[in-house]
Amino acid sequence: MLMVLTTTPNREEAEKLAEKIVQAKLAACVQVLPQMMSFYFWQGEIQKEQEHLILIKTLQEKYDDLEKFIKENHSYTVPEIIAFQAERVSDSYLIWAKDYLLESRP
């Protein structure tokens, strides 16, 4: 299982993206965290912006499609897309995720 992170400039975009990701069966669960302050380097300057962090729970075999989907549906030119391999996942949670993400019906 992978945990994929991305950020959005506002809650509306975060919720829309989260719902589309789950509907497209690219993740079994997506969480939108409360607003936070991000500091980052962009176009020669340090930026300070409010953003929402999105936590995406998916499977390794869904990553390439998920990355492409985020890039195509995100308002940022260079969206943050960072994936972490889960070291441990409860059996029941992993089975639940696989049942949703790998089932053949739409």
- For the question of whether the overall pTM of this predicted structure is more than 0.85, the answer is yes
- The arrangement of strands across the sheet holding 45-58 comes to 29-42, 45-58, 2-8, 82-85
Inter-CA distances, 62 with 33, 46, 59, 77, 97, Å: 22, 33, 5, 22, 12
Structure confidence by residue, pLDDT tens digits, 37-53: 999 999 999 999 999 99
Residue numbers of the domain that contains 8: 2-102
Q: What is the pLDDT of residue 103?
A: 86
Reading the block at residue 88, the tokens are 């441990």
β-pairing verdict for 29-42 and 82-85? unpaired
Reading the block at residue 61, the tokens are 């075999």
| Position 105 pLDDT exceeds 90 | no
Q: How many domains does the chain have?
A: 1
| Position 16 pLDDT exceeds 60 | yes
Mean pLDDT taken over the chain: 96
Structure confidence by residue, pLDDT tens digits, 50-89: 999 999 999 999 999 999 999 999 999 999 999 999 999 9
CATH of the domain at 39: 3.30.70.120
